[in-house]
Amino acid sequence: MTHETLRIATRKSALALWQAEHVAARLRAAHPGLAVELVPLTTRGDQILDRPLATIGGKGLFLKELEVALLEGRADLAVHSLKDVPAELDPGFALGAVLARADPADAFVSNAWATLAELPQGARVGTSSLRRQAQLRALRPDLVLLDLRGNVNTRLAKLDAGDYDAIVLACAGLERLGLAARIRARLDAPHWLPAPGQGAIACEIRAGDGRVQELLAPLEDADTRRATAAERAMNEALGGSCTVPVAAWAVLGERGLALYGLVGDAARGRLLRAHAEGEAPAALGRAVAMQLFAQGAAEFLEAP
């Protein structure tokens, strides 16, 4: 066992590599002497850049190739942004660890304007996320929403080239890449809600792989696991994927977990909101989903 190497499957974007390196460093620190190396792979979601994400469809667009590497024994774990991980994993896989969450908020990024409210009438805002589009529409029906794909640096380069007046990105991704200075304003919960799982890093393993599960144990953050489990349970109950505008944020307080959920419609900017408190994450997620269904969420969840 002394010569064993733990191999981490990762996507090749700067953010994915940062996250995989972070997990590798945490593993080496927790297990001195353990050899850890990255196995960088390209996914379908990375290859298809000419179409809006929502039109490609398919859950786990960024996972499949990494899961194949796990099954074929070319890797022992796969590191993902939890928000890219479908609510329901394929059989044979499990989340071996969920790490402590970074800032879950979305960020307003612009070179000319300090806040969303300051944007002039008809300003062009880039985001390909239906969740972000729906919330932008609700706040500012006048904005022109334009598709924006690619990794974080590509998106910033398109903003800098003048293709957009502003864009919306995750604070966590910007912070991890040393780009926190690009955040002009945080879009704060519960008014503005992020994607389920946003800001958390997840380690996916082969279900039942006790050896890797044990090595990952010191990286696990129980509070983040509970909060994101509630968000993901809500998303799952709504049949959510990256193709529907669902947002969720759970926070652990004195009275247990509080979960805020939102379903929107990107075309018209209508938003349905619900929130509840509870102890059991899965039940809480389902309860908020049921409240949203009771308000008519089903109509919002049909394929675009």
Ligand X SMILES: NCc1[nH]cc(CCC(=O)O)c1CC(=O)O
Catalytic positions are 84
Sheet-wide strand order for 166-170: 144-146, 124-126, 166-170, 106-109, 185-187
Per CB under 6 A, the list member of 79, 172, 187, 212 interacting with ligand X is 172
Q: Which residues contact 237 (CB under 8 A, 6 or more apart)?
A: 285, 286, 289, 290
Choices 21-29, 76-84, 254-262, 284-292; region in contact with ligand X by CB under 6 A: 76-84
Residues 218-237 that bind ligand X (CB under 6 A): none
Per CB under 6 A, the list member of 20, 95, 152, 287 interacting with ligand X is 152
Per CB under 6 A, the list member of 60, 86, 196, 199 interacting with ligand X is 199
Q: How would you classify the pairing of strands 185-187 and 124-126?
A: unpaired
What is the residue whose two structure tokens read 């990105």?
Answer: 169
Binding mask 80-119 for ligand X (x = CB under 6 A): -x-xx-----------------------------------
Per CB under 6 A, the list member of 173, 196, 261, 264 interacting with ligand X is 173
**Minimal distance in Å, beta carbon 132 to ligand X?**
9
Choices 114-122, 165-173, 269-277, 288-296; region in contact with ligand X by CB under 6 A: 165-173
Per CB under 6 A, the list member of 6, 24, 170, 266 interacting with ligand X is 170
Residues that bind ligand X (CB under 6 A): 81, 83-84, 152, 169-170, 172-173, 198-199
